[in-house]
Amino acid sequence: MLEIIRPASAAQAKVVLFDFDGTLSLVRTGWMQVMVPMMIEVLAELNTGETEDQLRQAIETFVWRLTGMETIYQMIALADEVKRRGGTPLDPLLYKKRYLDRLWHVIHGRVEALRLGTSPPDRYLVPGARALLERLKERGLSLYLASGTDEIFMQEEAHLLDVARYFDGGVYGALEDYKSFSKRILVQRILRLPEVRGAHLVGFGDGYVEIEEVKQVGGVTVGVATDEPECLAIDPWKRQRLIGVGADYIIPNYLDLDALTATLFGS
């Protein structure tokens, strides 16, 4: 099902920017159910009198707002919340390590199955993703992949899922010097290419950042509001937030490929 929020033509598109986790990859499905409870624990230790639901609401608000940015920014926001409540936060890097250790317990079986070849790569792709990538390459478009996940991890996962080969523009993730790379920096780098303007850019993503950055430069955006891990229906929570930051189209997956490409690239 393709939902048209505002008709926008990508007929002149030259470049496509994809987010990774939740947009293509399902390896890290469940990350939010790891991050948010960890943060609730941290804030609950301050004994402010807030209920768990109140803490969850506050945390989900900033976690969503920063989704798509490097993970460290969510941990910096957590540290700020601790300070705002009168506590003394840990270094955000320590919060990040705690989160990644917990996430690894959830996803390590998926990664190992891919490494060993006991699981086909497409099992951990949003349905129809590979067909879409191949269709975009057939159109002669240049593809870029960017993630807020640490580059060392997401590059391995992109290769294990056999999708890295589609991205002639490169595969980018979070760096140790987190200020040296972001999706905004990448978008600006793309716009410095010869004869590439904002209207030549298409963005696919399930998070705030990639949709907002592409829209701000005049590109066309597709919000992937998929209900993970089945990815057969729209997640209403994601849908609402993606529309709020400027998604032109909303999809649950890429299975209706003909309708999607006809709508995007029609004159």
Report pLDDT digits (tens) over 4-19. Answer: 999 999 999 999 999 9
Q: What backbone phi and psi angles, to 5 degrees, belong to 75?
A: -75, -35
Q: What is the mean pLDDT of residues 104-121?
A: 97
What single-letter amino acid sits at 150? D
Per-residue confidence (pLDDT) for residue 267, from 0 to 100: 63
Residues 137-159 have a mean pLDDT of: 96
Strands 249-251 and 220-224: parallel
Whole-prediction pTM value?
0.92
3-state helix, strand, coil in the chain (%, to 5): 50, 15, 35
**Rounded Cα–Cα distance for residues 14 and 136 (Å):** 10
* Cα–Cα dist 48/101, whole Å: 27
Q: How far apart are CA 33 and CA 55, in angstroms?
A: 14
| pLDDT tens digits along 208-260 | 899 999 999 999 999 999 999 999 999 999 999 999 999 999 999 999 999 99
**In 3D, which of 52, 60, 51 has the Cα closest to residue 78?**
60
Summarised one tens digit per residue, pLDDT across range 50-87 is 999 999 999 999 998 898 889 999 999 999 999 999 99
First to last CA, the chain: 21
Phi and psi angles of residue 232, each rounded to the nearest 5 degrees, phi first: -110, -10
Averaged pLDDT, 16-43: 97
Q: Angle 31-44/71-84 helices, nearest 10 degrees?
A: 20
- Chain segment 124-146, per-residue pLDDT in tens: 999 999 999 999 999 999 999 99
Mean pLDDT of the chain: 95
Give me 155's structure tokens.
């590059």
Which of 239, 236, 237 lies closest to 249, judged by CA? Answer: 239
Tokens in use for 52?
């768990």
Spatial separation of the C-alpha atoms in residues 28 and 16, rounded to whole Å: 22
